[in-house]
Amino acid sequence: MESTNKLKRGLSTRHIRFMALGSAIGTGLFYGSADAIKMAGPSVLLAYIIGGVAAYIIMRALGEMSVHNPSASSFSRYAQENLGPLAGFITGWTYCFEILIVAIADVTAFGIYMGVWFPAVPHWIWVLSVVLIICAVNLMSVKVFGELEFWFSFFKVATHHHHDPRRFRHHHLGYW
């Protein structure tokens, strides 16, 4: 029996663009870069450039594969189709593990950031609150999720202090 349910698009171009822009400015940019630059100096920029070029090449290849063979599935399907079932399996589970590690790092960094401004509140309370908020947002409809992601990304881009270092000149930035 054929299903009559059809997928409909809930995200607009505005949502997708700001999701991409907001995800480019990740937690590691604020939290991890300062220590790396302090320890290794300007060579970190060279490492970022090399990593960026590698990521660009990989994303271009993924874009070519998705244009050549569009499908409503994960990118691990391309590894499965082109390299075999084991490669698809490893790619999918490696990505799942990576996302779990990044999510843990993000909520931990949030707890550290909030600890700078609210030192009396334990970090675990901030971490738990962020996990609950993320769960609630992911249970909402795609349209609401896209709108929230748009505004969170807009806030992140608008307050990004590297574009105007004088913007936060009178504030203690803590770990930033």
Q: Structure tokens of 93? A: 């589970």
pLDDT score of 71: 79
- Average the pLDDT over each of 63-67, 113-117, 158-162 and give the range with the smallest value: 158-162
According to DSSP, residue 168 is labeled G
Contact 11, 149 (CB under 8 A): no
Contacts of residue 106, Cβ cutoff 8 Å, sequence gap at least 6: 26, 27
Q: Which residue has the higher pLDDT, 169 or 77?
A: 77
**pLDDT of residue 20 exceeding 60:** yes
**pLDDT of residue 63 exceeding 50:** yes
Tallying the residues shown for the chain, one arrives at: 176
The alpha-helical segments, DSSP class H, found in the chain are: 13-24, 27-31, 33-40, 43-68, 76-83, 85-117, 123-138, 142-158
**Chain centroid, CA 140 distance in Å:** 19
**Chain centroid, CA 84 distance in Å:** 28
Block residue for tokens 């090449």: 57
Crossing angle of helices 43-68 and 33-40, in 10° steps, is 130
**pLDDT of residue 1 exceeding 70:** no
**pLDDT of residue 158 exceeding 50:** yes
pLDDT score of 97: 94
Q: pLDDT-based confidence at 3, cuts 50/70/90?
A: low
What sign does the dihedral 72-83-53-36 (CA atoms) show? positive
* Nearest residue to 161 (alpha-carbon basis) of 173, 148, 146, 147: 173
Q: pLDDT-based confidence at 65, cuts 50/70/90?
A: confident
**Average of per-residue pLDDT values in the chain:** 81
The SS3 call for residue 71 is coil
